[in-house]
Amino acid sequence: MNRFSRVLVTGGAGFIGSHLVDALMSKGYHVRVVDNMSSGVTENVHRWLNHPDFDLIHADLKNSSVAEESVRDVEVVFHLAANPDVRLGGCDPSIHFAENLQVTFNILEGMRKSALAKSVVFASSSTVYGEPSKFPTPEDYGPLLPISIYGASKLGCESLISSYCHTFDIGAIILRFANIVGVRTTHGVIVDFIEKLRRNASELEVLGDGKQRKSYLHVKDLVSVIFKVMNNMDKSKLEVYNVGSNDQVDVVRIASIVCEEMGIIRPKLRFNRCLKDGRGWKGDVKTMWLSTRKLQAVGWEPTLNSEDAIRQSCHELLEST
C-alpha cells in the first residue's frame, strides 16, 4: 500500500519525468505534472490526460506563484524540471541559472509554505563532481568542482535543498544521475548519431576524440531506483545517492552499437576535435563512472550494463521514429 497518495512531478512531460509518471500512475498515485514544455511534450503523457487521478498543468515554474500553487496540496515532490542540455551553458549561462536554480528555489519556497509538501526527490547529475580523481566516484567525494554551468547549477540546487532540509524540516533525496538513455529522449550522443547517420550513412561526425568514457543507465532502471529509495524517505532528513551502471563505454563503441542497430556497416568516423584535449565541447567531462555501492546496500542493481542500455535505447528510438 502506498504511504502517500498525492505527488507532483515537475518536468513530468519530459523524457525521464514521463517515464516516472507512467510508473506512478500504474501504482495508483494521484499525479500532478507541471511542465513549461520547453523540452517536454504532451504526447509523452497523452495516455493519462483523461484519467481522474492525473492533472497536467502547462505553466512555468520560474513564476513563483505557479510553484506555490503546484506544491500546495501534494505530499511528495519529484523535482525533475531543468534544462537538460549541458552544452547550452557555454552559449547562455542564464538558461541554467533560471531553469535549474531559480525553479528549485521557487519549489522549495512553495514547500516551505505548504502544510503537506515536506518531501522532495531531486534529479541531480554526475556533473556536480567535475573531474574527480577517484573512480568509481563515491557520494562523499570532494571537493565538488563542476566544469560546466549545468553542473554548477545542479550543485547549487543541491546546496539549496540541503539548507531547506536543515532550516525548514524538509526531507530530501538527491539522486546524482549518470547518463540516462531510453525512448523519448531528445538529445545526447545516441540521438545525435542516429540523426547524422540518417542524413549520411557513409560518414559519422564524432564530437571530440571519441575516447570519452562514461556510464549509461536505461531509464527503466532509473525509475526502479526512485521507487527503491522512496522507502527511505522518512528515515533521514537528507540522503544522496549516485545512480548509474557499474561500468563504462566510450563514444567510439557507442558509434559502433548505433551502426549495428541501424544496419550500417563501418561508416567513416570524422572526429571533430573541438578542444585540443579531446573533449567535444567546453564542460564535457571526459571520464565519468559513479560508485553505486550505496544503492547496492539498499538492494538495488541495474538490469542492463552500459552497452546493453545503449543498444536497448537505440532500438527503442529507431522503432519510435
Q: What residues contact 87, with CB distance under 8 A and at least 6 apart?
A: 281, 283
pLDDT at residue 125, rounded to an integer: 97
Give me the residue spans of the domains in the chain. Answer: 6-180+219-243, 181-214+247-288+303-320
pLDDT at residue 88, rounded to an integer: 66
pLDDT at residue 87, rounded to an integer: 66
The pLDDT-based confidence of 92 (bands split at 50, 70, 90) is confident
Residue type, 149: I
User: Measured over all CA atoms, what is the biggest interatomic distance in the chain, rounded to whole angstroms?
Assistant: 59
| pLDDT single digits (tens) 105-116 | 999 999 999 999
Q: Strand 249-250 relative to strand 213-214: parallel, antiparallel, unpaired?
A: antiparallel
Which residue blocks in 41-132 are alpha helix, DSSP H? 64-71, 93-96, 103-113
The pLDDT-based confidence of 100 (bands split at 50, 70, 90) is very high
How far from chain centre, in Å, is Cα 187? 12
Question: What predicted TM-score, i.e. pTM, was given to this entire model?
Answer: 0.96
| pLDDT single digits (tens) 254-292 | 999 999 999 999 899 999 876 778 888 888 999 999 999
pLDDT at residue 1, rounded to an integer: 44
Mean pLDDT of the chain: 94
The pLDDT-based confidence of 296 (bands split at 50, 70, 90) is very high
**Could you give the CA distance from residue 41 to residue 283 in angstroms, rounded to a whole number?**
27
26 CB burial (10 A radius; 0-12, 13-18, 19+): exposed
pLDDT at residue 235, rounded to an integer: 59
| pLDDT single digits (tens) 180-202 | 999 999 989 999 999 999 999 99
User: Which CATH entry fits the domain spanning 6-180+219-243: 3.40.605.10, 3.40.640.10, 3.30.380.10, 3.40.50.720?
Assistant: 3.40.50.720
Decide if domain 181-214+247-288+303-320 falls under CATH 3.90.25.10. yes
pLDDT at residue 233, rounded to an integer: 74
